[in-house]
Amino acid sequence: MSHSVYSENPLLTPRQDHSIAPVSVDLLPQHLAIIMDGNGRWAQEQGAPREEGHKVGSEVVNTIVRTCRRWGIKHLTLYAFSEQNWGRPKSEIKALMKLLDQYLREQRSEILEHRIRLRAIGNLSKLPFWVRTPLQALIKESAQAQGMTLTLALSYGGREEIVKATQKIAQKVQQGQLSPSDITDETIQAHLYAPDQPAPDLIIRTSGEQRLSNFLLWQCAYAEFDFLDIPWPMFNEEALRDVCLRFASRERRFGLTSAQIDAKTQKITSS
Protein backbone atom coordinates (compact mmCIF):
# COMPACT_ATOMS: atom_id res chain seq x y z
CA MET A 1 0.00 0.00 0.00
CA SER A 2 2.76 2.43 0.90
CA HIS A 3 4.44 2.09 -2.52
CA SER A 4 1.42 3.52 -4.33
CA VAL A 5 1.38 6.53 -2.00
CA TYR A 6 5.08 7.13 -2.53
CA SER A 7 4.64 7.03 -6.32
CA GLU A 8 1.66 9.39 -6.22
CA ASN A 9 3.48 11.93 -4.08
CA PRO A 10 7.26 12.15 -4.60
CA LEU A 11 7.54 14.39 -1.52
CA LEU A 12 6.78 11.35 0.62
CA THR A 13 9.87 9.19 0.49
CA PRO A 14 10.25 5.90 2.34
CA ARG A 15 12.72 5.78 5.21
CA GLN A 16 14.48 2.71 6.50
CA ASP A 17 14.62 3.92 10.10
CA HIS A 18 11.13 3.24 11.43
CA SER A 19 11.82 5.27 14.57
CA ILE A 20 11.57 8.34 12.33
CA ALA A 21 8.14 9.67 11.40
CA PRO A 22 7.13 8.86 7.79
CA VAL A 23 6.53 12.54 7.00
CA SER A 24 7.11 15.89 8.70
CA VAL A 25 5.20 16.52 11.90
CA ASP A 26 3.07 19.13 10.09
CA LEU A 27 1.66 16.40 7.82
CA LEU A 28 0.92 13.93 10.60
CA PRO A 29 -2.47 13.87 12.32
CA GLN A 30 -2.19 15.90 15.49
CA HIS A 31 -5.08 13.94 16.95
CA LEU A 32 -5.24 10.28 15.98
CA ALA A 33 -8.19 8.19 17.18
CA ILE A 34 -8.34 4.41 16.81
CA ILE A 35 -11.19 1.91 17.05
CA MET A 36 -9.22 -1.15 18.12
CA ASP A 37 -11.41 -3.89 16.68
CA GLY A 38 -10.93 -7.57 15.93
CA ASN A 39 -9.19 -9.00 19.01
CA GLY A 40 -11.76 -11.71 19.69
CA ARG A 41 -12.23 -12.79 16.09
CA TRP A 42 -8.47 -12.91 15.54
CA ALA A 43 -8.07 -15.18 18.58
CA GLN A 44 -10.86 -17.50 17.44
CA GLU A 45 -9.21 -17.81 14.04
CA GLN A 46 -6.05 -18.92 15.87
CA GLY A 47 -8.04 -21.49 17.81
CA ALA A 48 -7.55 -19.51 21.03
CA PRO A 49 -10.08 -18.01 23.46
CA ARG A 50 -11.21 -14.42 22.83
CA GLU A 51 -9.38 -13.29 25.98
CA GLU A 52 -6.07 -14.22 24.34
CA GLY A 53 -6.84 -11.80 21.52
CA HIS A 54 -7.38 -9.00 24.01
CA LYS A 55 -4.07 -9.83 25.66
CA VAL A 56 -2.18 -9.59 22.38
CA GLY A 57 -4.14 -6.45 21.55
CA SER A 58 -2.93 -4.79 24.76
CA GLU A 59 0.65 -5.41 23.67
CA VAL A 60 -0.10 -3.68 20.37
CA VAL A 61 -1.35 -0.69 22.38
CA ASN A 62 2.11 -0.34 23.95
CA THR A 63 3.74 -0.36 20.51
CA ILE A 64 1.40 2.22 19.01
CA VAL A 65 1.55 4.58 21.99
CA ARG A 66 5.36 4.54 21.88
CA THR A 67 5.40 5.06 18.12
CA CYS A 68 3.00 8.02 18.26
CA ARG A 69 5.05 9.60 21.02
CA ARG A 70 8.29 9.24 19.03
CA TRP A 71 6.74 10.64 15.89
CA GLY A 72 5.29 13.69 17.62
CA ILE A 73 1.58 12.91 17.40
CA LYS A 74 0.18 15.08 20.16
CA HIS A 75 -3.14 13.37 20.88
CA LEU A 76 -3.97 9.66 20.71
CA THR A 77 -7.44 8.42 21.63
CA LEU A 78 -8.07 4.68 21.89
CA TYR A 79 -11.56 3.18 21.90
CA ALA A 80 -10.91 0.56 24.56
CA PHE A 81 -14.38 -0.31 25.90
CA SER A 82 -17.78 0.94 24.79
CA GLU A 83 -21.02 1.39 26.73
CA GLN A 84 -22.42 -1.43 24.62
CA ASN A 85 -19.53 -3.76 25.55
CA TRP A 86 -21.07 -4.23 29.00
CA GLY A 87 -23.45 -6.64 27.28
CA ARG A 88 -20.63 -9.10 26.50
CA PRO A 89 -20.08 -12.31 28.52
CA LYS A 90 -19.04 -11.57 32.11
CA SER A 91 -15.87 -13.63 31.73
CA GLU A 92 -14.73 -11.50 28.80
CA ILE A 93 -15.55 -8.25 30.62
CA LYS A 94 -13.58 -9.40 33.65
CA ALA A 95 -10.60 -10.28 31.44
CA LEU A 96 -10.74 -6.84 29.80
CA MET A 97 -10.86 -5.07 33.15
CA LYS A 98 -7.87 -7.11 34.38
CA LEU A 99 -5.92 -6.15 31.27
CA LEU A 100 -6.76 -2.48 31.84
CA ASP A 101 -5.62 -2.70 35.46
CA GLN A 102 -2.42 -4.46 34.35
CA TYR A 103 -1.75 -1.81 31.72
CA LEU A 104 -2.15 1.03 34.20
CA ARG A 105 0.20 -0.54 36.70
CA GLU A 106 2.85 -1.73 34.24
CA GLN A 107 2.92 1.43 32.12
CA ARG A 108 2.72 3.94 34.97
CA SER A 109 6.47 4.64 35.14
CA GLU A 110 6.78 4.96 31.34
CA ILE A 111 3.80 7.29 31.14
CA LEU A 112 5.25 9.55 33.83
CA GLU A 113 8.82 9.35 32.54
CA HIS A 114 7.86 10.40 29.02
CA ARG A 115 5.49 13.15 30.21
CA ILE A 116 2.39 11.52 28.74
CA ARG A 117 -0.85 12.99 29.98
CA LEU A 118 -3.39 10.23 30.58
CA ARG A 119 -7.08 11.00 30.27
CA ALA A 120 -10.24 8.90 30.17
CA ILE A 121 -13.64 9.65 28.65
CA GLY A 122 -16.87 7.79 29.20
CA ASN A 123 -19.14 6.73 32.03
CA LEU A 124 -16.23 5.88 34.33
CA SER A 125 -18.52 5.26 37.31
CA LYS A 126 -19.43 1.92 35.72
CA LEU A 127 -15.84 0.67 35.94
CA PRO A 128 -15.03 -1.65 38.86
CA PHE A 129 -13.59 0.17 41.84
CA TRP A 130 -10.33 -1.79 41.65
CA VAL A 131 -9.79 -0.49 38.10
CA ARG A 132 -11.15 3.00 38.60
CA THR A 133 -8.81 3.67 41.53
CA PRO A 134 -5.45 3.22 39.69
CA LEU A 135 -6.93 4.90 36.60
CA GLN A 136 -7.94 8.05 38.48
CA ALA A 137 -4.63 8.06 40.37
CA LEU A 138 -2.57 8.00 37.17
CA ILE A 139 -4.79 10.61 35.54
CA LYS A 140 -4.10 12.89 38.50
CA GLU A 141 -0.37 12.13 38.56
CA SER A 142 0.07 12.88 34.87
CA ALA A 143 -2.30 15.87 34.68
CA GLN A 144 0.48 18.44 34.25
CA ALA A 145 2.44 16.45 31.66
CA GLN A 146 3.26 18.45 28.54
CA GLY A 147 4.03 15.58 26.16
CA MET A 148 1.53 13.49 24.24
CA THR A 149 -2.02 13.16 25.56
CA LEU A 150 -3.27 9.57 25.69
CA THR A 151 -7.03 9.33 26.06
CA LEU A 152 -8.73 6.03 26.83
CA ALA A 153 -12.39 5.79 25.84
CA LEU A 154 -13.81 3.53 28.57
CA SER A 155 -17.46 2.67 29.04
CA TYR A 156 -17.81 5.25 26.29
CA GLY A 157 -20.58 6.01 23.84
CA GLY A 158 -20.82 8.95 21.47
CA ARG A 159 -24.61 9.22 21.70
CA GLU A 160 -24.44 8.94 25.47
CA GLU A 161 -21.85 11.72 25.57
CA ILE A 162 -24.08 14.03 23.52
CA VAL A 163 -27.11 13.19 25.68
CA LYS A 164 -25.20 14.02 28.86
CA ALA A 165 -23.98 17.28 27.32
CA THR A 166 -27.50 18.35 26.34
CA GLN A 167 -28.82 17.42 29.80
CA LYS A 168 -26.25 19.73 31.40
CA ILE A 169 -27.13 22.51 28.97
CA ALA A 170 -30.86 22.03 29.55
CA GLN A 171 -30.29 22.25 33.29
CA LYS A 172 -28.52 25.60 32.83
CA VAL A 173 -31.41 26.84 30.67
CA GLN A 174 -33.89 25.71 33.33
CA GLN A 175 -31.92 27.55 36.00
CA GLY A 176 -31.82 30.72 33.89
CA GLN A 177 -28.05 30.58 33.43
CA LEU A 178 -28.35 30.17 29.66
CA SER A 179 -30.80 31.19 26.96
CA PRO A 180 -31.75 28.66 24.25
CA SER A 181 -30.81 31.20 21.59
CA ASP A 182 -27.30 31.36 23.03
CA ILE A 183 -26.63 27.65 22.48
CA THR A 184 -23.97 27.14 19.81
CA ASP A 185 -21.55 24.47 18.65
CA GLU A 186 -19.12 25.83 21.21
CA THR A 187 -21.72 25.39 23.97
CA ILE A 188 -22.09 21.71 23.22
CA GLN A 189 -18.33 21.27 22.88
CA ALA A 190 -17.85 22.84 26.30
CA HIS A 191 -20.04 20.16 27.90
CA LEU A 192 -18.41 17.09 26.36
CA TYR A 193 -16.18 14.72 28.33
CA ALA A 194 -12.97 16.40 27.15
CA PRO A 195 -14.02 19.89 25.98
CA ASP A 196 -10.47 21.17 25.51
CA GLN A 197 -9.38 18.27 23.31
CA PRO A 198 -9.06 19.04 19.58
CA ALA A 199 -11.23 17.12 17.16
CA PRO A 200 -9.61 14.02 15.66
CA ASP A 201 -7.84 14.55 12.35
CA LEU A 202 -7.82 10.85 11.53
CA ILE A 203 -9.86 7.90 12.75
CA ILE A 204 -8.59 4.38 12.10
CA ARG A 205 -10.66 1.24 12.47
CA THR A 206 -9.15 -2.21 12.22
CA SER A 207 -10.82 -5.59 11.46
CA GLY A 208 -12.53 -4.74 8.17
CA GLU A 209 -15.66 -3.18 9.64
CA GLN A 210 -16.59 0.20 8.14
CA ARG A 211 -18.59 1.95 10.82
CA LEU A 212 -17.98 4.21 13.82
CA SER A 213 -19.80 2.09 16.41
CA ASN A 214 -20.83 5.09 18.50
CA PHE A 215 -17.31 6.58 18.67
CA LEU A 216 -16.70 10.36 18.86
CA LEU A 217 -19.89 11.13 16.94
CA TRP A 218 -19.81 14.87 17.64
CA GLN A 219 -16.06 15.25 17.23
CA CYS A 220 -15.69 13.35 13.94
CA ALA A 221 -17.45 15.91 11.73
CA TYR A 222 -14.33 16.68 9.64
CA ALA A 223 -12.16 13.69 10.49
CA GLU A 224 -10.50 11.59 7.81
CA PHE A 225 -11.16 7.83 8.00
CA ASP A 226 -9.07 4.77 7.23
CA PHE A 227 -10.66 1.34 7.54
CA LEU A 228 -8.18 -1.53 7.60
CA ASP A 229 -8.86 -5.19 6.85
CA ILE A 230 -6.38 -6.42 9.46
CA PRO A 231 -7.51 -7.10 13.06
CA TRP A 232 -6.02 -5.06 15.88
CA PRO A 233 -3.54 -7.76 17.01
CA MET A 234 -1.92 -7.53 13.56
CA PHE A 235 -1.70 -3.73 13.54
CA ASN A 236 1.88 -2.51 13.88
CA GLU A 237 4.20 0.41 13.23
CA GLU A 238 4.43 -0.36 9.53
CA ALA A 239 0.65 -0.32 9.19
CA LEU A 240 0.52 2.99 11.04
CA ARG A 241 3.16 4.42 8.67
CA ASP A 242 1.05 3.45 5.67
CA VAL A 243 -2.04 5.09 7.15
CA CYS A 244 -0.14 8.28 8.01
CA LEU A 245 1.27 8.46 4.48
CA ARG A 246 -2.22 8.20 3.02
CA PHE A 247 -3.43 10.86 5.44
CA ALA A 248 -0.58 13.19 4.44
CA SER A 249 -1.51 12.89 0.78
CA ARG A 250 -5.13 13.95 1.31
CA GLU A 251 -6.44 17.47 0.88
CA ARG A 252 -8.58 18.55 3.83
CA ARG A 253 -10.91 21.34 2.69
CA PHE A 254 -13.33 21.76 5.64
CA GLY A 255 -16.11 22.86 3.28
CA LEU A 256 -13.91 25.15 1.16
CA THR A 257 -12.73 24.67 -2.42
CA SER A 258 -9.24 23.55 -3.43
CA ALA A 259 -8.56 27.04 -4.82
CA GLN A 260 -9.48 28.62 -1.50
CA ILE A 261 -7.22 26.22 0.38
CA ASP A 262 -4.33 27.01 -2.00
CA ALA A 263 -4.84 30.74 -1.57
CA LYS A 264 -4.99 30.38 2.20
CA THR A 265 -1.78 28.33 2.20
CA GLN A 266 0.04 30.85 -0.01
CA LYS A 267 -1.02 33.67 2.30
CA ILE A 268 0.36 31.84 5.33
CA THR A 269 3.67 30.96 3.66
CA SER A 270 4.19 34.49 2.31
CA SER A 271 3.49 36.22 5.63
pLDDT at 20: 86
Look at residue 231 and tell me if it is in a domain: yes
- The residues facing 202 across adjacent strands are 32, 224
Look at residue 1 and tell me if it is in a domain: no
Q: What is the CATH number of the domain that holds 95?
A: 3.40.1180.10
Q: How many domains does the chain have?
A: 1
Structural domain that includes position 148 = 23-270
Look at residue 2 and tell me if it is in a domain: no
Look at residue 56 and tell me if it is in a domain: yes
pLDDT at 253: 63
Task: Decide if 171 contacts 191 (C-beta within 8 A).
Answer: no
Task: Decide if 194 contacts 219 (C-beta within 8 A).
Answer: no
pLDDT at 96: 97
pLDDT at 3: 35
17 is catalytic: no
For residue 53, give the nearest of 38, 65, 63, 64 by alpha carbon: 38
Give the active site residue among 17, 26, 37, 236.
37
236 is catalytic: no
Give the active site residue among 85, 123, 226, 236.
85
Each residue's pLDDT tens digit, 217-256 = 999 999 999 999 999 999 999 999 999 999 999 986 667 6
Task: Decide if 216 contacts 158 (C-beta within 8 A).
Answer: yes
Look at residue 14 and tell me if it is in a domain: no
Confirm whether pTM is higher than 0.75: yes
Can you give the pLDDT of all 271 residues of the chain as single tens digits? 333 333 343 334 444 456 789 999 999 999 999 999 999 999 999 999 999 999 999 999 999 999 999 999 999 999 999 999 999 999 999 999 999 999 999 999 999 999 999 999 999 999 999 999 999 999 999 999 999 999 999 999 999 999 999 999 999 999 999 999 999 999 999 999 999 999 999 999 999 999 999 999 999 999 999 999 999 999 999 999 999 999 999 986 667 666 655 655 565 556 5
Look at residue 7 and tell me if it is in a domain: no
The CA distance from 230 to 41, in Å, is: 11
Look at residue 6 and tell me if it is in a domain: no
Look at residue 155 and tell me if it is in a domain: yes
